[in-house]
Chain A
Amino acid sequence: MKVAVFVSEYRCNLNPLEYIPAEKLGFILVGNGVYHAVLKENYQDSPILQQKGDFYVLLEDLETRGCETDCINPKVKPVTYDDLVDLIFYEYEKLMWLQ
């Protein structure tokens, strides 16, 4: 099962992820979730980036918040809305909006 998890908050409860039996997990950082891609709170990657999976950040939302693309964590791939559509249809089977 290939699951894309949309993360739109910076503080979020990750417990629900324990129930997702994904062989491939992708985290798509949108809205305030983009801060996971650029902040290193207490010099550490965010708890989201410490998960096992692939990471994507929505460029439009990153730029909206004044974040520079050169600050993106190397684990995270910047994507546009058009790229997101391709991820949804061609890389993942099930979608989940973490709230």
Chain B
Amino acid sequence: MKTGDVKLAFIVTKLPYKSETSRLAITHALSYQTVEVLLEDNQTITPSLIFVDEGVLNCIKNHKSMEHYELTSVETHLKNALLVEMDIYVCKESIEKFGVLPERIVNAEDIGAEKSIKIVSKDEIKEIIKRADHLLYF
């Protein structure tokens, strides 16, 4: 029986809202919080949620999807992920390409999260992906 930690890279490249792709990436990654009920004591899963290319546009703050469409925002899911201390990375080169300033990236300080989304280079993302046991490309 396999034991130890399995690292998963959830790589998000799609824009939010038109499809549920990016939302499902976040909610599937978040489910690592409860997977322990199906694993043994010495088995763990560590997800990394990585936004690259157009996917970084999911991470712009102040979503108002609940107000306009009665739909939980992608931002809310991201905040919850930060609250449970998931590692979330955004590609520096991609946000620069789309003109997104770092201060426009979601944070969850208002709900008491200690973690924040890390803005990292493409090379750093390659390293994270290299360390992952499996790639989940959304």
Residues of A within 8 A of B (CB): 1, 3, 13, 15-16, 18-21, 94-99
Contacts and interface: CB of A to CB of B under 8 A. Distances in A.
A17 to B, nearest CB: 10
Interface of A is mostly: mixed
Contact of B13 (A13, A94, A95): A13
Interface in B12-31: 13-14, 21
Interface of B: 11, 13-14, 21, 50, 52-54, 91, 122, 125-127, 129-130, 132, 134-135, 137
A13 B11 CA distance: 14
Given A21-B126, A21-B129, A21-B130, A15 B135 contact: no
15 contacts: A15-B52, A16-B11, A16-B52, A18-B122, A19-B11, A19-B50, A19-B91, A19-B129, A20-B126, A21-B129, A21-B130, A94-B134, A94-B135, A99-B14, A99-B137
Nearest to A15: B53
A95 B134 CA distance: 8
A19 to B, nearest CB: 5
B135 A95 contact: yes
A19 B126 contact: yes
A41 B48 CA distance: 38
